[in-house]
Amino acid sequence: MCGIVGYIGKKPVYDILINGLKKLEYRGYDSTGVMIYNQKVLIKKSKGKVTDLESLFTNSEEKKGSVGIGHTRWATHGPPNTVNSHPHSSSSGEITIVHNGIIENYDSIKKILIKKGYKFQSDTDSEVLANLIEDVKKTKKVKLGKAVHYALKQVVGAYAVVIFDSSNPNEIVGARLGSPLAIGVGDSEYYFGSDATPFLEFTKRCIYLNDNEMFVVSLKKGLTLREIKMDSIVDPYIQELKQSIEEVEKGGYDHFMLKEIFEQPQSIIDTFRGRLISPKDPISISSIEKHFEVFKNANRIIFISCGTSWHSSLLAEYYFEELLRIPVEVEYASEFRYRNPIINKGDIVIPVSQSGETADTLAAIKLAKERGAFLYGICNVVGSSIARETHTGIYTHAGSEIGVASTKAFSCQISLLLLMALKLGEKLGTIEKTRYKRILAELNNLPKSIRKVLSKNNIIEDISKKFINSSNFLYLGRGYNFPIALEGALKLKEISYIHAEGYPAAEMKHGPIALIDEKMPVVVIATKKGSYHKVLSNVMEIKARGAEIIAIVSKNDTEIIDIADHVIEIPNCDELIAPILANIPLQLLSYHIANKKGCNVDQPRNLAKSVTVE
Ligand code: M6R
């Protein structure tokens, strides 16, 4: 949930830390801070964003130094003020730490340390860890690496930590359990980051730490990686990253979110590359081919996920049950992990995640694994924890998604889930051949169809102007479009702070209709086929109660077009493809409303891109 950076080498560290933190702000932006070592430790921290921190450096002397660590915070323990900002120091000031995660037993450790005379400035669990490391180092008379090792054995919780000891400034120590941490390996220099983006411009050689691993990096002795529980040396696996720096920059757009919305045709091409070759060829998904027997014998498929990825999973339920005829359940990972779920032999659990680091999803995976499920992971971030913790799986290849509100990752998830369902349905013989071929042809055409929807951007921007002062919104959809109603509402609420609810259109009469009046705009997804005429009746009911209606309809609609106040057309398509296209105007509508309200679209308040705490 927080972002960590660090560097040790010969380059001036200030720019590396500041630019790195800016790239990680999507992980949290309540407060930020850095420690720079130049003969002595200098710590500067600030409530707010990295630009606030930069303004504290008025003297160029303060920027000097070639070792440093930094942090951008999403507050857990203690309010987002300067004192609670990272880095945190031990009482003596010798140990400095940046931490992402939660130390659950921090309170009991703190009490013991207070009795021993340690003083605390902040409310954070991280300061407790800094003092615990110092205490272990002094009482056991060991070096920083050993002290961190012993200290981490005492803590319960989750962490990615990077630690500096001013008594040995040529060394940096770090560790991970449950929160991500990457090391960039340069020429006699090392970079550290919650992900690789802070160091991508300097090195593509990257080590992703596994849970329970720690490292000691010394300018004299190089890097040592160790498994914490076994206390054994691990051979580092250095990956060559393929990501480019352009991918993580705005490229002329005002916001990452808008850039990512417009990148969707290309993201879909990347997601389908090597998997959907031509309308005639079969779909190639090696992880399904390899484990086809598991799918063939599956009694049940359970999707586990959170937020937008949960909406993808819900749509997958519709796709998989329709095309595979295998029972599907969809679970919030946060509920699944705590409710003693029944997992039977022959159950396949499919976690879906953009980041591959969501704490609840990871905990649910662990539980499902313990209970014998076969785990097939779907995630976007290559090398992420979910990719490593599952038996097999598939990457969405949407590219880096920086905007906190998920857009292109969602489109790639649902397109890939449809592709998987088609592949499995064809192999199982549960999908009729002509239908299979028709949908395949439409999927091949999907990037083009998305471009057509994106060309409506100006119309959508115009519509958005009318709603910047609305306080509530209702989103309605039916069948395959119901998960899109939920996703549209989530997108609007998270970036514009307008209250929005998604509902199955027919459920409206069971309660929400009471809310409808002229002050309640209603977005209706009413594409052709499926339940079109039933949704049309719902539209009439809403109109009769005076609400302003924004309808997403299929091209050449002749009925809703006369009733709705605003109409956005998507190309005519199969009802399984319609939700993928119908979602795009809703992304743009949310974006324009939020942007016109002056909201921080890329970094909405209280949110973070990757939720690595419970
Ligand atoms: O990385 P994940 O897909 O596992 O993240 C799940 C949710 O935290 C995420 O989708 C969240 O709801 C987004 N802010 C939605 O835009």
The model's pLDDT over 111-145, given as tens digits with 9 standing for 90+, comes to 999 999 999 999 899 999 999 999 999 999 999 99
* Ligand 1 geometric centre to CA of 428 (Å): 32
- Of the pLDDT bands very low, low, confident and very high (cuts 50, 70, 90), residue 400 is confident
Give counts: helices (H), strands (E), the chain.
21, 25
- Of the pLDDT bands very low, low, confident and very high (cuts 50, 70, 90), residue 506 is confident
Please check whether residue 553 is in contact with residue 561, taking contact to mean a CB–CB distance below 8 angstroms: yes
Q: What is the mean pLDDT of the segment spanning 560-566?
A: 92
Please check whether residue 162 is in contact with residue 20, taking contact to mean a CB–CB distance below 8 angstroms: no
- Of the pLDDT bands very low, low, confident and very high (cuts 50, 70, 90), residue 609 is confident
Dist CA 303 CA 327 (whole Å): 11
> Positive or negative CA dihedral for 55, 60, 66, 67?
negative
Lining residues, ligand 1, CB within 6 Å: 306-309, 353-355, 358, 361, 404-406, 494, 607, 610-611
Residue nearest to ligand 1 atom 16, measured at CA: 405
Inside any domain, residue 609: no
In the 3-class helix/strand/coil scheme, how is 363-417 assigned residue by residue? HHHHHHHHCCCEEEEEECCCCCHHHHHCCEEEECCCCCCCCCCCCHHHHHHHHHH
> What residues contact 17, with CB distance under 8 A and at least 6 apart?
5, 6, 7, 34, 36, 68, 69, 70
Q: Does residue 282 share a domain with residue 423?
A: yes
Note the pLDDT of residue 280.
Answer: 63
Residue 420: give the domain boundaries.
250-444
Strands 499-504 and 88-89: unpaired
Note the pLDDT of residue 106.
Answer: 93
- pLDDT higher than 90, residue 77: no
Q: Does residue 557 share a domain with residue 418?
A: no
Dist CA 235 CA 213 (whole Å): 11
Interval 221-266: pLDDT, tens: 999 999 999 889 999 999 998 777 766 777 789 999 999 999 999 9
Note the pLDDT of residue 134.
Answer: 97
Q: Taking Cα atoms as reference points, which of 235, 194, 204, 199 lies closest to residue 99?
A: 194
Note the pLDDT of residue 281.
Answer: 63
Q: Does residue 482 share a domain with residue 398?
A: no
Dist CA 319 CA 325 (whole Å): 10
Q: Of 396, 425, 444, which residue constitutes the final position of a domain?
A: 444
Atom of ligand 1 nearest to the CA of 607: 14
Atom of ligand 1 nearest to the CA of 610: 1
Higher pLDDT, 513 or 148: 148
Q: Does residue 397 share a domain with residue 532?
A: no
* Ligand 1 geometric centre to CA of 483 (Å): 15
CATH of the domain at 592: 3.40.50.10490
Mutating to test ligand 1, I would choose from 314, 611, 612 the residue with most ligand atoms within 8 A of its C-beta, which is 611
Q: Taking Cα atoms as reference points, which of 88, 135, 95 lies closest to residue 113?
A: 135
- pLDDT higher than 80, residue 1: no
Residue nearest to ligand 1 atom 12, measured at CA: 307
- As beta bridge partners, residue 351 has 304
Return the structure tokens found at 80.
Answer: 């987002």
Q: Of 394, 412, 444, which residue constitutes the final position of a domain?
A: 444
Tell me the whole-structure pTM to 2 decimals.
0.78
* Ligand 1 geometric centre to CA of 260 (Å): 15
- Of the pLDDT bands very low, low, confident and very high (cuts 50, 70, 90), residue 12 is very high
CATH of the domain at 62: 3.60.20.10
Residues counted in the chain:
614
- pLDDT higher than 80, residue 582: yes
> CB atoms < 10 A from the CB of 43, how many?
17
Q: What is the mean pLDDT of the segment spanning 477-488?
A: 97
Q: How far is CA 516 from the centre of its chain?
A: 34
Q: Does residue 505 share a domain with residue 460?
A: yes
Note the pLDDT of residue 527.
Answer: 94
Q: Does residue 474 share a domain with residue 338?
A: no
- pLDDT higher than 70, residue 560: yes
Q: Does residue 216 share a domain with residue 126?
A: yes
Mutating to test ligand 1, I would choose from 255, 306, 497 the residue with most ligand atoms within 8 A of its C-beta, which is 306
Which sequence positions are flagged as catalytic? Answer: 2, 609
* Ligand 1 geometric centre to CA of 492 (Å): 14
Dist CA 573 CA 446 (whole Å): 10
Average pLDDT, the chain: 93
